[in-house]
Amino acid sequence: MHMPRQKEILSNWSGISLLGMFMMGTSIITMAGKDAGMDVLLALPMAAVANILLAFMYTRILTLYPGKSMMDLQEMIFGKLSKLFYLLTVWIALHVATMTLILFGEFIQVVSLPETPRYFICGFIAALAIWLVKDGLEVMGRWAGFAFPVFLLIITGVSLLSIEDIRLDTLGPFLSKGLHPLLTGTFPLIALGLAFFTEVFNHLGNSRKTFRVFLFGILLTTFSLFFVYLRNISVLGMSFTQSLYFPSYAAVGIINIGNFLQRIEVAVSVNFILVGFIRLSICLYVASKGISRLFGFQDHRAITAPVAFLVMAFTLFAFRNIVELSEWVNSTYPYYRVPFLFFLPLVTWVAGEIKARKDRRKATLPPAL
């Protein structure tokens, strides 16, 4: 039986900050869904609705047995079979961590350190994530609670500085090719990482506000991404935006106010590092928890470094460059993630509802004479 450490407590703001920064992760720099063209601006609110519906399910999983995570619930319901669920969760957490770290390395290498090997950049970022995860979820939450307002302030400030370069005539037309582009643009924006927070939000100080934390995190993410996407498209034009791997960096690089305010793209780099760092840390946290359950370790923090080294090893052969990663994300990833995003939590939820109903029925039975 897995015996957890003394439970850590997250404030609501820490939960919102962790979720918001995780969800914006790579989208803030790559513009996930941009292949939908102008319809990506409509895809964002549609994806928000889908994310909110998923949040209903994840919240219900967490409130069936307050204080229990989805892995806890799987162990209660499925017994030894729960290890299969852990294995699948670990796999997707490692995969998302690998993609995040590769994108981190590629971005920093392309925009500022072209002569530095990617594995060196990835190793430095991974070391920081190890430190944050080993310090605990409370520390991670406090760090995110401080960094998230800075992140939002940078987005707001940079967007305001872009006003002179905005061309509203670049916007539209919408739905010119029917609904198919809208749907293909919506699906990449449905956040796989929401499911990871069934291992985080069981630590919220007030479990009755779990859905509210999900909701605020999703809405803040959606509004922030909408303004970033709108800025990028209106500054660069849709065709040019679609041709870039890092359109946010390119859009902000155009800003030049006189001779005293230049190189504003550094702010975009800082923002990406902030959210990417949290995204990687959450992935390591979930993967470490899953592996500790698989092998019966008492403390997931003890294996955080080996898990990070495993992710580092994956980055060496998973995708050679940003081109391969982008092709895979566009062609395979939308379908690959469906079981982890929907079916595994759905099975857990349905089985949990059945178990909770049986437990309530037993509790109401009169004691045997």
For 272-287, the pLDDT digits (tens) are 888 888 999 999 999 9
CATH number of 12-352: 1.20.1740.10
User: How far is 291 from 307, CA to CA, in rounded Å?
Assistant: 9
Residue 205 has what pLDDT?
86
Q: Which two tokens stand for residue 168?
A: 């509203």
Locate the domains of the chain by residue range.
12-352
> What letters, b where the CB count within 10 A reaches 16 and e where it falls short, cover 126-162?
beebbebbbeebeebbbbbbebbeebbebbeebbebb
- Across the range 144-170, mean pLDDT stands at 84
172 or 261, which is more confident? 172
Residue 337, pLDDT > 90, answer no
Residue 2 has what pLDDT?
47
Locate all alpha helices (DSSP H) within the chain, ordered by sequence: 12-24, 27-30, 40-64, 70-78, 82-111, 118-135, 137-161, 180-186, 210-236, 238-243, 247-253, 265-295, 304-317, 322-331, 333-336, 338, 344-364
Residue 72, pLDDT > 70, answer yes
Which residue matches tokens 């998230």? 148
Q: What is the pTM of this model?
A: 0.90
Give Cα 201 to chain centroid, integer Å. Answer: 14
Angle at 325 between CA 320 and CA 326, to 5 degrees: 140
The letter for the amino acid at 41 is L
Residue 328 has what pLDDT?
84
Which residue matches tokens 């890092």? 246
Residue 16, pLDDT > 50, answer yes
366 or 364, which is more confident? 364
User: How far is 123 from 308, CA to CA, in rounded Å?
Assistant: 9
Residue 4 has what pLDDT?
47
In angstroms, what CA-CA distances link 198 with 58, 73, 130, 155? Answer: 6, 10, 21, 28
Q: Which two tokens stand for residue 70?
A: 């989805």
- Which of 54-63, 166-175, 225-234, 312-321 has the lowest average pLDDT? 166-175
User: Three-class SS of residue 302?
Assistant: helix
Tens-digit pLDDT profile for residues 304-323:
999 999 999 888 887 877 88
The letter for the amino acid at 368 is A
- Which of 19-23, 245-249, 306-310 has the lowest average pLDDT? 245-249
Residue 123 has what pLDDT?
85
